[in-house]
Amino acid sequence: MATEHIVRSYDEELQRLETMLIRMGGLVEAQLGDALSALGRRDTVLAEAVIGNDQAIDELHFDIDEFVVRMLALRQPMANDLRAIVAALRIAGDLERIGDYAANISKRTIALSHSQIIKPLAGVVRMGKVAQQILKEVLDAISRRDADTAKIAWGRDSEVDEMYTSVFRELLTYMMEDPRNITPCTHLLFMAKNIERIGDHATNIAETVYYMVTGEAMRERRPKRDTTSFTDPDELNRPGERGGA
């Protein structure tokens, strides 16, 4: 889709930058969605496709980088425009990382396809869906230039963190139960970590969008609910306090 037309005006250049950014967002969103459905269905063909598509994201990231540098040099933007351009650069960086994590999840999906189906996989996929929702809201906020949506999405990262903590404990329990579970659970653990990082990058984007639209940095502290660093393996053997639904 490389439409190389001669850019005439500054406004057109800004417009083009936004279109490129949204296109990149769409690509990354699709990559994450595909990576998760490949994991859920253990579909190695789809996982291979995700790994192959990562190149397109990297190329687009490079294009945006170059475009931004050229605009900064030639147009010397001010105020609103400067914010939009700098924001685009930052958002593209975060999107590129998310794309890498999606590809990484797919690589592990392929590695996982040889081991038996283990139950915590559903939890990882579900956690991924929440991250995907947040990414979607953040991208919507970019195209609508909507600081409120960005802020709401920003607040939702704690959902991902909490699920990460829960999945982490669940995986540890499975590993302690049976050493044969260690290989698949380790893959799932890394995938869960990747998804947790995706949530963090989506939060970064939300902060950037907020800054781009309002001109102010988000001052509140980010809600952090990832407590895995304090997980004590002995504590895991205690029975749950309460039965589920």
Partner 1 sequence: MAESGRGLLRALALVLLPIFLVGGILTYEGLLDPVAGLAGLLALTLIFALQAWRYLRGIEDLRRLVEALAEGDAQPYGSHRSHPVLRELGSAIARLDRTHRERERALTMLVEAGDTVFDSVPDPLIVLDGESRILSANRAARESFREPLPDRHVSTVLRQPALLKAVFSALHEDVLRTVEITLSDPVERVLSITALPLPAQPGAGKILLACHDVTAERRSEQMRGDFVANASHELRTPLASLLGFIETLRGPAREDEEARDRFLGIMHGEAQRMSRLVSDLLSLSRIELREHEVPSGSVEVVPLVESVAQAFELQAARRSIKILLDPAPGLPAVVGDADELKQLLHNLVENALKYGREGGTVTVCAVLPGRLPASYPRAEGGAVAIAVRDQGDGIAREHLPRLTERFYRVDPGRSKSVGGTGLGLAIVKHIVNRHRGALTIESEPGDGSVFTVYLPADRASAEPGPAETLPRAG
Q: Which of 10, 22, 177, 178 binds partner 1 (CB under 8 A)?
A: 22
Task: Report the residue from 8, 216, 237, 243 that binds partner 1 according to the rule CB under 8 A.
Answer: 243
Nearest residue (CB) to partner 1, 19 versus 55: 19
Q: How many chain residues are in contact with partner 1, going by CB under 8 A?
A: 39
Site string for partner 1, 117-136 (x = CB under 8 A): -----xx--x-----xx--x
Query: Do residues 184 and 108 lie in contact, with contact meaning Cβ atoms separated by under 8 Å?
Result: no
Among residues 163, 191, 209, 212, the one that binds partner 1 under rule CB under 8 A? 163
In the chain, the largest separation of any two C-alpha atoms, in whole Å, equals 68
Q: Between vectors from CA 16 to CA 15 and to CA 19, what angle results, nearest 5°? A: 90
Exposed, middle or buried, 76 (CB in 10 Å: 0-12/13-18/19+)? exposed
Site for partner 1 in 61-120 (CB under 8 A): none
Query: Does residue number 144 form part of the binding site for partner 1 (CB under 8 A)?
Result: yes
Query: Which residues, numbered 213-232, are part of the site for partner 1 (CB under 8 A)?
Result: none
Residue closest to 55 by CA, chosen among 88, 34, 74, 27? 27
| 234 is a contact residue toward partner 1 (CB under 8 A) | no
User: Nearest 5 degrees, angle CA 240-CA 244-CA 245?
Assistant: 170
Rounded Cα distance, 69 and 75, in Å: 10
183 alpha carbon, distance to own chain's centre = 25
Minimum CB distance to partner 1 smaller for 30 or for 86? 30
Q: Does 39 interact with partner 1 (rule: CB under 8 A)?
A: no
DSSP line for 52-105: HHHHHHHHHHHHHHHHHHHHHHHH---HHHHHHHHHHHHHHHHHHHHHHHHHHH
Give residues 169-188 in contact with partner 1 (rule: CB under 8 A): 169-170
Over its C-alpha atoms, the chain yields an Rg (Å, rounded) of 20
Rounded least distance, CB 127 to partner 1, Å: 8
Site of interaction with partner 1 (CB under 8 A): 1, 3, 15, 19, 22-23, 25-27, 29-30, 33, 122-123, 126, 132-133, 136, 139, 143-144, 149, 152, 155-156, 159, 162-163, 165-166, 169-170, 239-245
